[in-house]
Amino acid sequence: MLQTPERVVATASHAHHNVPAHVGDTATGRDLLGALLVSVGFFTLYRVFRQDGYFSDGRFLIESVNAGEWWRHHVLYLPVGHFFRWLFQGWLGRDAEPSLHLLSSIPAAVAVGVTFLAGRRMGCGFAAALLASVLMGTSCSYWFFSTCVEVHGLHLLFAAVALLVATARGPGDAASALTTSLLLFGLIGSHLSGVLWIPAAVLWAFRKDRGWETPRNVGIAALFLLLASIGAWVALDGFASLTRRSWQIVTSSWTVENFLATIVWPAPLLVSAGVASGASLAMADRGAWRRPLGLATTALFLTALPFAFTMREGALGAYYVSLLPVLALTVGWAVHRGRVFQRLPRGALAIGVALVAANLTLSLRQVNEWEHRYAGVEWATRLFDEAEGSDLVLTRHGWESHTILRHSRLSTACWENATKRFDQLAEPVLWSRISKNEKGGGALWMTRAFRESKEPAVAELVQRLVQRYGEPRPGKGSDYWGFDVGASRGAPASATTPAGVLHQTKSPKSKIATTNRIGDR
């Protein structure tokens, strides 16, 4: 549990709390330089080890920016993504992917430096704050989302800035409701899991060290939140329905396995150290939870952790990644209060280096398994080398489509996914995709499972493709074939998809979600 250090002058009080004299004051030049070097160092690491694959929403985000779309449920990401593409297009080109990689690595790296500054602000020694921030920056889930195209790098920056603001508040200072609402807007706008911060933010804003008080700028903050909510409602075309669906998903099942998969395994060393540190701090100062920062920390975890038992997706801790800066500061404050680096300087240094090295090893192993040890990697890598980004791949099984979409920019049309959604209309849906691909000039490929399927409808579809394009040629691998689309012999008999089947939602922002449910792009 984080404790709020008192801003005191008396030497005895400093000795009791183990708080440096500069707590609550402006960061020193040494602190700012340390934060800058930490940020630059982690940015370099994240860029060097950036991923080639596309986790979760990664491809959709790239396609959304390339298509000129501005809104989806993480309302801040696409506008910032467009800004990054505009800012770096002279260097990186018009394709959004390299710019969005920077939108992950830059905010995430800056967040590591900001977390270091927050640790110094709350009273941690230089070494303790550095250890906490580096341990966070090398944690598995933090590293993963900092090296791929995803929304969480921006989300982590808002979380780190929120902690910097919280730790800079002195015992007698009144909180600013406007600042609190702006940070909440950033947290929620960058990822919807930011709603879990609302109770903590409200308690922190209204709580003083002794008693309660109304924060400054309440009226302006209320107006801002009202306008932001109306804007989100309009932009998302019905935020309430999205909220209801999200609530149904996260409350559908409660298991310990879900908790371990979403909280513990994504950052095992930091979570373990954070829990142990929080327990030791709570025992050392039982009144810490009543002070603003301690109360907010307690509320954040009491709000977030119950939901961690409900998430069934293998999301690598994505929905709770904003807890990592809080855990890091908990570790830093416990190390500082225990005077670990003063009592055992060499031992503490050795343990710190070992923890960071272990963290980095786990993080690199996780990324390596994601990028190079997936189902179908043997034939998929050869297909990726031979095909081009505008090509279409016909797949029989959902996992084949998943492999292709997660590790290339190729499009897929999956029979299994189409039949699950459209049943008897699956064949015209696929023909529509094939016709669209032909008009766009893309090559057509099919996997072994698709070509050799014993299902009558799929076998008939393959025969019609042969009639249209001729016999397929083998690819460089033995598990896929390609058609000579340029040898087309006329329009396919069922090229027209019944009205309303493929695009059941007309708005551009929902079209991507529709495609995602089919599993084909």
What is the DSSP annotation of 476-492?
Answer: SSTTEEEE-GGG--S--
- Work out the pLDDT band at 16, boundaries 50, 70, 90: very low
8, 121, 177, 181, 197 from 204: Cα distances, Å: 21, 17, 10, 12, 11
In the chain, what's the furthest Cα-to-Cα distance? 90
What pLDDT was estimated at residue 345?
83
For residue 510, give the nearest of 236, 302, 321, 297 by alpha carbon: 236
Poorest-pLDDT segment among 114-123, 177-186, 217-226, 232-241:
232-241
Helices (H), 285-344: 292-308, 324-337, 340-343
Poorest-pLDDT segment among 36-45, 213-222, 276-285, 401-410:
213-222
Query: CB 171: neighbour CB atoms within 10 A?
Result: 15
Q: What's the mean pLDDT in 263-277?
A: 89
Structure tokens at 61: 């985000």
Give the model confidence (pLDDT) of 106-137 as tens digits: 999 999 999 999 999 988 999 999 999 999 99
What pLDDT was estimated at residue 439?
84
Most confident of 2-11, 26-35, 269-278, 340-349: 269-278
- Work out the pLDDT band at 289, boundaries 50, 70, 90: low
Q: What's the mean pLDDT in 401-416?
A: 91
Dihedral sign from CA coordinates of 415, 419, 423, 428 = negative
328 contacts: CB under 8 Å, gap ≥ 6: 115, 119, 132, 133, 135, 136, 270, 274
Give the model confidence (pLDDT) of 50-69 as tens digits: 998 888 888 899 999 998 88
For residue 344, give the nearest of 333, 335, 354 by alpha carbon: 335
Q: How far apart are CA 161 and CA 232, in angstroms?
A: 22
Mean pLDDT of the chain: 80
Q: What is the pTM of this model?
A: 0.82
Find where tokens 């009791």 sit: 16
Dihedral sign from CA coordinates of 388, 390, 394, 395 = positive
What is the DSSP annotation of 453-464?
Answer: ---HHHHHHHHH
Q: How far apart are CA 414 and CA 127, in angstroms?
A: 53
Question: DSSP code of 189?
Answer: H
Structure tokens at 159: 């979380």
What pLDDT was estimated at residue 150?
93
392-395 and 444-447 beta bridge pairing: parallel
Give the model confidence (pLDDT) of 452-508 as tens digits: 998 898 998 999 999 888 889 888 877 899 988 765 545 444 444 433 333 333 333
For the cut 70, the answer to whether the pLDDT of residue 171 exceeds it is no
Give the model confidence (pLDDT) of 182-207 as tens digits: 888 899 888 888 888 888 888 888 87
What pLDDT was estimated at residue 207?
76
13 contacts: CB under 8 Å, gap ≥ 6: 6
Give the model confidence (pLDDT) of 321-350 as tens digits: 999 999 999 999 999 988 888 888 888 889
Q: Which residues pair with 414 in a beta bridge?
A: 395
Structure tokens at 209: 């060290």
Q: Is 240 left (phi over 0), alpha (psi -120 to 50) or beta?
A: alpha
Q: Are 266 and 317 in contact (CB under 8 A)?
A: yes
